Amino acid sequence: MPRESPWRLNPLTELRAFLRAALVTPVPRDHRDPAPVLRRRRLVSGVTLVVGAVVLWWSLRLPPGDPWFYAWTTVLAGLWVGGAFLSGRLYLGRGHTRAGDYARPVVQSLALGLLLLVVFLGGALLVGQIPWLAGPVNDLLDHVRFASVPIVLVITVMNGVAEEIFFRGALYAAIPQRWTVPATTALYALVTIGSGVPLLVFAAVLLGLVCSLQRRVTGGILGPAITHITWSAGMLLLLPPLLEIVS
């Protein structure tokens, strides 16, 4: 019997298989910290989380175009990364492949980030029609409109990687295993509440959940970091012109 061409496979079946491999079925691994390392990880992660939340709140309170915005967001990225590496060892992780073995989750994470981007941009078409939701988002995007886009893009990518190194690296490893996904998702969202942008908090919940599930599957930070920066860079470049079109 001739083998069915992969181009004729049901797209929904392919999508379900992809999401199962990326977000549901863990790759075998054993990354358990000894008790002294775990205590240090929890202490360092807790302090870093509190200080980082304050720095994020302060940086988002700066007026658009203020040069201190660049400085404080760079400090924030350094804080996340520094706290993560002080807490203990971090892992890149591995993902499932179509061949049934394991590899660094690069292509899989790029695809997941693009899928998230499509979902969010589709939602932006609706948000743009609701003034009380679109207003705070536009205020936040003024940091892009009144600043150098290349510099903001570099800062966005830098902070995306830094956030994953901390939230899906150090903080994830500091939390008891049964609570890792809901706890890191909730804490990541709570940190963004100070921004005063409801949709940013919602985005943090959805992005945090996807990246936490990736971390559970792959056992490392590489996959979540790639997904995060794919989504955040795409939103930075595509959301402002999209909102201008629909407003």
pTM of the model: 0.91
Question: How many residues does this entry show for the chain?
Answer: 247
Q: Which tens digits make up the pLDDT trace of 2-23?
A: 444 444 568 888 889 999 999 9
| Dist. CA 201–CA 198, nearest whole Å | 5
Highest mean pLDDT among 23-37, 138-152, 153-167, 230-244: 153-167
Look-up of token digits 């989750």: 105
What pLDDT, on a 0 to 100 scale, did the predictor assign at position 6? 47
Q: Quick one: DSSP state of residue 171?
A: I
Which residue type occupies 46?
A: G
| Dist. CA 194–CA 196, nearest whole Å | 5
Q: For the chain, report the end-to-end CA distance as a whole number of angstroms.
A: 55
Residue 203 near residue 211, CB atoms below 8 Å: no
Closest CA to 225 of 240, 210, 235, 237: 210
